[in-house]
Structure 1
Amino acid sequence: MIKVLIVEDDPMVAEFNKRYLREMKGFSFAGIVHNVRDAKDFLAREQVNLILLDVYMPGANGLELLHFIREQKIAVDVILITAAADTEKVQTALRLGAVDYLVKPFEFERFNQALNQYKDKYVMFEKKQVLNQEDLDSRILPSEQRQSGGLIEALPKGLTSSTLQIILNVIKSKEGSLFSTDDIAESTYISRVSVRKYLKYLTQLGVLEESLTYGIGRPVYYYILKKDNLTKVSIYL
């Protein structure tokens, strides 16, 4: 299990992040602290794998804690969470090794994406002593763009490979049965609007077959997986 510490001065935001975290498989909640001083004390007592770190807090800010972590060579990863995303602070965070940067307010979908991307890398590092080029290209280096045959294969704007993978995993679990947008949204905790975009894209690729059913109330689109065409989406994952 990946142990996660939440460092957030706003109790309500901290509680929401805690609830989000508890929806995630493979993660365990280690604790909440509300300032940098308490975070340092916590890290001195307990080992965690990941910190969800707010930038703007009374006294020392999150970037100062990130500096401290790197100076002390503490083996922990950090996802920054902040209401502001000015270029200088983002660059500083990335240079200090932040693995992701979430801008408030964010939905569970983006939170889910950030933590699942982190989990994929964490699990791979735990299992492998030596990485090859394929490992780096598929799991470590940015996955929104892949090179295939000299051409860059990119997802449409607004879609990410990690969320696509989550949705595909649920679709595969349907084992060839019909499903709707609501079915996928309920299983993934991703908004219906976002799920609809991914299902439409998979339909365009020929990975899904779409049908419209009329009944009581609004018409409902249903989908079924065309397993033979899954290779058409593999370059994006």
Structure 2
Amino acid sequence: MINVLIVEDDPMVAEFNRKYMEQVEGFQCIGWASSVEEAKKLLTERAVDLILLDVYMQESNGLDLLSFIRETGVNVDVIVISAASDMNSVKKAMNFGAVDYVIKPFHFNRFLEALTGYREHISIVREHSLLSQEELDRLLYHKSQTKDYARLPKGVTKSTLAMIWNCIRQHEAMLFSTEDIAELAGISRVSMRKYLTFLTEIEVLAMETIYGTIGRPVYQYRILPQAEEIMAVMI
């Protein structure tokens, strides 16, 4: 699990962020600080992997905590979540090593992107002592590879997508074909193929090619671990 400290002076906003965070697999909130000084104290008492940090707080400026972390070498990452959208604040946060910057008010899909991007980042860091170029590129440029989950392509509707997703979840076998879900959903294979292709593109499903002894190969699909998080945004 990734241990998260929320640093936010508004208790309602802090609770809002916590509830959003709990919808993303792999994260747990281990504390809340309403000021920079309180956050510093908690950092000495608890094991924290990630801070969700506000900039504008009544008693302090969140960027001062970022500066403290970098000067003292505290091993913790920071995602800024703030209404501070001026270039000076953003540039300062990046210079101090913030791994992402989310501007309030935000949509859940942007919050999801920040956390899933960080989760991928930390997974690579924890599991590898040496990196390939591809792995390094994923660490450095993960945002350029994220999907705009909320945007549906032409011919794909949210209601039909929701119905198909329910059929997929109800399917008993781990692997399934276009025909399997088309029969459950009661729509044509041509239409179903469009939806399954879209779900594959946004990394809800993975497609596997099954080669038999005769005839054409069969294409089957399986659900990926992050599917529920992505579909929570889509439908």
Contact persistence 1:6–1:33 (CA under 8 A):
yes
Q: How many Å separate the matches in 2 of 1:114 and 1:107? A: 11
Q: How many Å separate the matches in 2 of 1:36 and 1:185? A: 43
Contact persistence 2:4–2:28 (CA under 8 A):
yes
TM-score (norm 2): 0.65
| Equivalent AA in structure 2 for residue 142 of structure 1 | Y
Secondary structure of the structure 2 residue equivalent to 1:59 = coil
- 2:208 corresponds to 1:224: no
- In the TM superposition, 1:49-68 aligns within 5 A as 49-68=49-68
CA gap of 1:56–1:109, structure 2 versus 1, over 3 A, is same
| Equivalent AA in structure 2 for residue 140 of structure 1 | L
Contiguous gaps of at least 5 residues in structure 2: 151-158, 167-185, 207-235
- 2:143 corresponds to 1:162: no
Contact persistence 1:53–1:62 (CA under 8 A):
yes
- 2:161 corresponds to 1:181: yes
Identity of aligned residues (%): 44
| Equivalent AA in structure 2 for residue 163 of structure 1 | K
| Equivalent AA in structure 1 for residue 62 of structure 2 | G
| Equivalent AA in structure 1 for residue 141 of structure 2 | P
Q: How many Å separate the matches in 2 of 1:71 and 1:128? A: 26
Contact persistence 1:116–1:162 (CA under 8 A):
no
| Corresponding residue of 2:141 | 142
Secondary structure of the structure 1 residue equivalent to 2:38 = helix
Count of aligned residue pairs for this structure pair: 170
**Greater Rg over alpha carbons, structure:** 2
Contact persistence 2:80–2:102 (CA under 8 A):
yes
| Equivalent AA in structure 1 for residue 22 of structure 2 | R
- 2:2 corresponds to 1:2: yes
Contact persistence 1:55–1:62 (CA under 8 A):
yes
| Corresponding residue of 1:189 | none
| CA shift digits 1:1-46 (9 cap, x unpaired) | 0000000011111010000011110111111111111101100111
TM-score (norm 1): 0.65
Q: Please report how far the alpha carbon of residue 130 of structure 1 lies from its aligned counterpart in structure 2 after TM superposition.
A: 0.6
Secondary structure of the structure 1 residue equivalent to 2:195 = strand
CA gap of 1:100–1:183, structure 2 versus 1, over 3 A, is farther
Q: Please report how far the alpha carbon of residue 225 of structure 1 lies from its aligned counterpart in structure 2 after TM superposition.
A: 2.0
Q: Which runs of 4+ in 1 moved over 6 A?
A: none
| Equivalent AA in structure 1 for residue 25 of structure 2 | K
Q: Please report how far the alpha carbon of residue 182 of structure 1 lies from its aligned counterpart in structure 2 after TM superposition.
A: 3.4
| CA shift digits 1:175-198 (9 cap, x unpaired) | xxxx83335899xxxxxxxxxxxx
Q: How many Å separate the matches in 1 of 2:119 and 2:101? A: 15
| Corresponding residue of 1:130 | 130
| Corresponding residue of 1:95 | 95
| Corresponding residue of 1:173 | none
